[in-house]
Amino acid sequence: MDYFNYKQDVLFAEEVSLKDIADEHGTPSYVYSRATLERHAKAYTNSFKAMDGLVCFSVKALSNISILKVLKDCNCGFDIVSGGELHRALLAGADPQKIIFSGVGKSEAEMAAGIEQGILSFNIESESELMRLERVAAEMKKIAPIAIRFNPGVDAGVHEFTKTGRKSDKFGVSIEDTIGLVKHCIESKYLSMVGLTCHIGSQITELEKFEQAAHQSLKMLCEVEALGATLNFIDMGGGLGVTYMDEKTIQPDELIQCYERVFQGRSERLIVEPGRSISANAGVMITKVEYEKEKFLITDAAMNDLLRPALYQAHHDVWQVRKNNLEPKNYNVVGPICETGDFLAKNVALSAGEGDLLAIKTVGAYGFVMSSNYNSRPRAAEILVDKDQFSLIRKREDFSDLTALEEQPND
Ligand code: LLP
């Protein structure tokens, strides 16, 4: 469910015409709907019935600080994977006690920053990482809170690149090795095991996969408990899929109810780390058709602005900002970058031509955050719509931004 709709043949974000946004801020631009973000965040936060819950939005999906502020105001915490994301979450005013630090390769500096800020937990993905964190905490004479991310061996999701819960994936600690790490934590002066976590992948549309992971977590929880550790939370990660084409998706309350059924009678808090299911439908990218050439519409947006089609062969619907009654034709919507892989959509029926505006849908997650300056193209602007108002939340980059960090050593 989102708030992008046609009004008299023009596409609106809430009560703002996308044409007006393009006129004021140019193209390509990412446009987000505040009402959609809030609706999705609340769909999660209102779903907890039996368990105390915390929704940690996965910052990697959409990390603009104005967006993080909107989600913080919906009582969300944050799932971060880098010092940069910690910085952003803190700038947005996040409560450190609602920040979870995930990721397989945390540096010493990132660990020290997390300990210093007093975050809720480091989600640990290997023995070496646990030892490093213990050393960093000991040097700081502080206790680091940790959750072990175990790998439940569940194969879920649609794309090879975003599956994370299989034994062969680089993520998490095997079920067998988790026990050894728990024992180490129990004896450590500088580590406190506060939770258990897993994350099986992204764009998952089968509830059974989440259920399988939850059963594995429950089993693991009982084993950990038998060793004498008392945990504060069980974190089930993110992964809920969204509709890009015609996928039938699971609603946040179905997911939370499923977890609550599996964990019935447990006193731990339940944490989830959704990214895509909160922000994907809340964003579109508007772009202008520069040229029509045979079956191609060449737009001013390219793979550097939206990488998902090129990287994952992902499908995004393309809508005309202004509808008309002309006969549609099948087009490939492509960008100006010098690669055949530079496309935004293939074989879409459109009645658009040069100068027309298009909206690429469902790009609020893993859209702007994965953009780059490839071909020395300045990054797009980001705009947040709130009812009948819109604000620029990230300026369009200009040429000076492209070269700002470059030095020219004297020879
Ligand atoms: N928690 C952890 C530990 C994760 O690694 C991820 C995503 C999430 C939560 C959030 O998952 P979500 O609810 O968004 O599925 N760039 C890819 C997606 C990569 C997902 C990486 N991890 C894409 O565009 O499809």
DSSP 197-252: E---BSSB--HHHHHHHHHHHHHHHHHHHHTT---SEEE----B---SSS-----H
Query: pLDDT tens across 206-228, in order?
Result: 999 999 999 999 999 999 999 99
For residue 67, what pLDDT is reported?
98
Ligand 1 atom with the smallest distance to the CA of 202 is 15
For residue 161, what pLDDT is reported?
73
* Domain layout of the chain by residue ranges: 4-32+280-400, 34-277
Query: pLDDT tens across 110-158, in order?
Result: 999 999 999 999 999 999 999 999 999 999 999 999 999 999 988 876 6
Pocket test for ligand 1, best of 37, 54, 60, 344 (most atoms within 8 A of CB): 60
As a whole number of angstroms, the distance between CA 207 and CA 301 comes to 35
The helix or strand, by DSSP H or E, that contains position 286, with its residue range, turns out to be strand 283-293
Class in CATH terms, 34-277: alpha beta
**pLDDT above 90: residue 267:** yes
Residue 237 CA, ligand 1 centroid: distance in Å: 9
**Which two structure tokens, joined as six digits, stand for 54?**
């915390």
Q: Active-site residue numbers?
A: 338
Decide: 126 and 96 in contact? Cβ < 8 Å.
no
Query: pLDDT tens across 275-325, in order?
Result: 999 999 999 999 999 999 999 999 999 999 999 999 999 999 999 999 999
**184-201 core/surface letters (b: 16 or more CB in 10 A; e: else):** ebeebebbbbbbbbbbbb
Pocket test for ligand 1, best of 202, 205, 277, 312 (most atoms within 8 A of CB): 202
Query: pLDDT tens across 184-200, in order?
Result: 999 999 999 999 999 99
Class in CATH terms, 4-32+280-400: mainly beta
For residue 156, what pLDDT is reported?
79
In sign, the C-alpha dihedral spanning 82, 83, 86, 87 is: negative
Q: Is the CB of 162 under 6 A from ligand 1?
A: yes
**pLDDT above 90: residue 396:** yes
Reported as a pLDDT band with limits 50, 70 and 90, residue 410 is: confident
Q: Which amino acid is present at 241?
A: G
Average pLDDT, the chain: 96
List of residues 6+ apart from 121 with CB closer than 8 A: 100, 101, 145, 146, 147, 194, 195, 233, 235
Residues composing the chain: 411
User: Peptide bond before 274: cis, by omega within 30 degrees of 0?
Assistant: no
